[in-house]
């Protein structure tokens, strides 16, 4: 089991892009039966049914399960929910902790978000040198938002 995306994510995205939700569910079923964090994360993104509020609550609970299993994109996604207050009560300190954990695994989007938290002192103590280091690493990992941030602040992109 891995804590980063595998071929399952690629296959799932291709099926979902075709709009074939039943096939996407069939693809995930054996992995969900094993409690795979990646499959839990992917299943949390499947559009819900009639009851949107319940579907959002269920999808966040599933997302959180994936994060608890150590699946890095899920940890990052939980951080985004906490940062914005989407589906949960806003908590920038907990969001920063999620971003820090995912950034330690080398996940470029999390490196950028944790870098922003450090840069602005949102939910963590302000640490500009560490922030710039992480944002630069995120840009080097392909994150365009990080690259734009560095350019906007006239900081060397480092790539």
Mean pLDDT, the chain, as a whole number? 93
The model's pTM is: 0.92
Q: How confident is the model at residue 156 (pLDDT cuts 50, 70, 90)?
A: confident
**68 contacts 84 by C-beta, under 8 angstroms:** no
Average pLDDT value for residue range 93-120: 98
Residue-level pLDDT at 91: 98
CA distances (Å), origin 157, targets 45, 115, 135, 136: 33, 14, 9, 6
Is the model's pLDDT at 50 over the cut of 70?
A: no
Is the model's pLDDT at 87 over the cut of 70?
A: yes
Average pLDDT value for residue range 116-120: 98
């Amino acid at each position: 089991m891995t804590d980063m995306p595998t071929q399952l994510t690629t296959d799932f995205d291709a099926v979902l892009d075709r709009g074939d939700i039943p096939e996407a569910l069939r693809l995930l079923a054996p992995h969900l039966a094993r409690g795979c964090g990646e499959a839990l994360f992917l299943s949390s993104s499947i559009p819900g049914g009639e009851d949107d509020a319940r579907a959002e609550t269920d999808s966040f609970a599933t997302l959180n399960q994936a994060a608890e299993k150590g699946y890095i994109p899920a940890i990052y996604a939980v951080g985004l929910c906490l940062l914005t207050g989407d589906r949960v009560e806003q908590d920038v300190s907990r969001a920063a902790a999620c971003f820090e954990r995912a950034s330690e695994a080398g996940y470029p989007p999390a490196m950028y978000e944790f870098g922003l938290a450090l840069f602005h002192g949102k939910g963590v103590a302000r640490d500009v040198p560490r922030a710039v280091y992480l944002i630069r690493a995120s840009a080097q990992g392909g994150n365009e938002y990080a690259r734009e941030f560095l350019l906007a602040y006239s900081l060397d992109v480092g790539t």
